């Protein structure tokens, strides 16, 4: 399902929580975080930490999927430049700086 705003994402997360008959306090306890964080995420607060959103989504069984609408070559370039192996655990992790889109993608940051 396409999500285009923090408000939309918050509503989806709230729906997933309620579908599992969990209260905000239940989720805060399970996620070892404060109730305010859950309230902020569900209300679509745009400045909430992405890590907290991702952790909450994982807790509720949701996943984030990013659709790269251009060619397979562009997708491969984006993955190649955005991920590096993590020496700590051997898994891929996002780099500290955002990758610059390839001219092959036909999109730039301006």
pLDDT digits (tens, 9 = 90+) for 40-73: 999 999 999 999 999 999 999 999 988 777 667 6
- Check whether 88 has a pLDDT greater than 60: no
Q: Where are the domains of the chain?
A: 6-59, 72-105
Judge whether residue 91 has pLDDT over 90. Answer: no
The class (CATH top level) of 6-59 is: mainly alpha
Q: Tell me what pLDDT residue 1 has.
A: 82
Q: How far is CA 21 from CA 4, 24, 26, 51, 90, in A?
A: 26, 10, 9, 24, 36
Q: What is the pLDDT of residue 4?
A: 92
Predicted confidence at residue 68, as pLDDT, reads 72
pLDDT band at 14 (very low <50, low <70, confident <90, very high): very high
């Amino acid at each position: 399902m396409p999500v285009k705003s923090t408000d939309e994402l918050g509503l989806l997360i709230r729906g997933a929580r309620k579908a599992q008959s969990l209260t905000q306090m239940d989720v805060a306890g399970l996620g070892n975080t404060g109730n305010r964080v859950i309230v902020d995420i569900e209300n679509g607060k745009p400045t909430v930490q992405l890590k907290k959103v991702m952790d909450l989504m994982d807790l509720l069984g949701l996943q984030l999927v990013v659709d790269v609408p251009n060619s397979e070559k562009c997708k491969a370039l984006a993955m190649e430049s955005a991920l590096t192996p993590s020496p700590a655990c051997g898994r891929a992790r996002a780099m500290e700086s955002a990758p610059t889109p390839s001219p092959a993608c036909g999109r730039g940051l301006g």
